[in-house]
Amino acid sequence: MQTAKRKMTGREALQVLLAGNERFVQGKLEHPNHCEESRKGLLGGQDPIAVVLACADSRVPPVDVFDQGLGDLFILRVAGNIINDHILGSIEYAVAHLHTRLVMVLGHSSCGAVNAVAQGVKLEGHIASLTPSIDAALKRTKGHEGHWPDNAAMELARATARKIAESEPIIADLVHEGKVVVVAAYYNLATGEVTVL
């Protein structure tokens, strides 16, 4: 059932998401706000607790990963969790007009886009527009200990979160005023666990 929510701080919203992820990992899902009453309660508007920019990968569904429901998350999905003006505009809408206090960039293990660029696959058409940001993350993590593409996926999430937090004028101002928190996180496909980077 959809219940009236006090406007959470960004840190409080982050704790709600991490608690939901813990339920997901343990297989103790509550599936909140999935009923008819919740759906009808959203007819007048939305009040999401977080913006989640996630990869378009079908194995990374934020509502499930964080055990949330209808109206809880403002989700943007694009391969490699890359940002552009359309993505930034959507985030600006959520933080400035819906007053959402948390923005999370969610990278993940075994990212197909990152793996393709790491392997030197020639991406054609509009897919190639993903390459520059991914390539930059791969270059920054080359030679680091661990799995290179997964390291790059984490670096890409961190770099994207920094770009969002510094995006002027709207988001940067809200971050500077302490009204919005921007975090990078990483989803492990094998364990289901989300780690804040």
The CATH number assigned to the domain with range 10-196 reads: 3.40.1050.10
Note the pTM of the prediction, 2 decimals: 0.93
- Three-state secondary structure of the chain: CCCCCCCCCHHHHHHHHHHHHHHHHHCCCCCCCCCHHHHHHCCCCCCCCEEEEECCCCCCCHHHHCCCCCCCEEEEECHHHCCCHHHHHHHHHHHHCCCCCEEEEEEECCCHHHHHHHCCCCCCHHHHHHHHHHHHHHHHHCCCCCCHHHHHHHHHHHHHHHHHHCCCCHHHHHHHCCCCEEEEEEECCCCCCEEEC
For 38-81, the pLDDT digits (tens) are 888 888 888 999 999 999 999 999 999 999 999 999 999 999 99
Distance from the Cα of residue 166 to its chain's centroid: 16
For the chain, give every domain's residue range. Answer: 10-196
pLDDT of residue 7: 83
| % of the chain with per-residue pLDDT over 90 | 88
The answer to whether residues 184 and 157 touch, using CB atoms and an 8 Å cutoff, is yes
Q: Summarize pLDDT for 85-114 with one digit per residue, the tens.
A: 999 999 999 999 999 999 999 999 999 999
Q: How many CA atoms lie within 13 A of 11 on its CB side?
A: 1
